[in-house]
Amino acid sequence: MNQLADYLPFLIPLVVAQLGLAIFSVIHVLKHPQYRFGNKALWVVVVLVFQFIGPAVYFLFGRGDQE
């Protein structure tokens, strides 16, 4: 248990950043009307299952052009 306490100053900001990125990405997926690849359900799963990598992949490859 003492080892976990040593890592808390690093883990807490990491968890907060991950939650913020996941929430922002899911909201964007739900509001965005079109995608380059896949559909809304696919991108929600990718964003939530593949934690830091999923939102990055969505914003790099999945997000369609704005109208």
Q: According to the 3-state scheme, what is the secondary structure of the chain?
A: CHHHHHHHHHHHHHHHHHHHHHHHHHHHHHHCCCECCCCHHHHHHHHHHCCCHHHHHHHHHHECCCC
Q: What is the pLDDT of residues 26-60, one digit of tens each?
A: 998 888 888 888 788 988 898 888 888 888 888 88
Its pTM stands at 0.73
pLDDT: is 63 or 15 the higher one?
Answer: 15
Predicted pLDDT of residue 29: 87
Residue 63 or 66, more confident? 63
Give the start-to-end residue ranges of the domains of the chain.
2-62
pLDDT at 2: 79
Do 17 and 55 contact (CB within 8 A), yes or no?
no
The per-residue pLDDT for 67 is 45
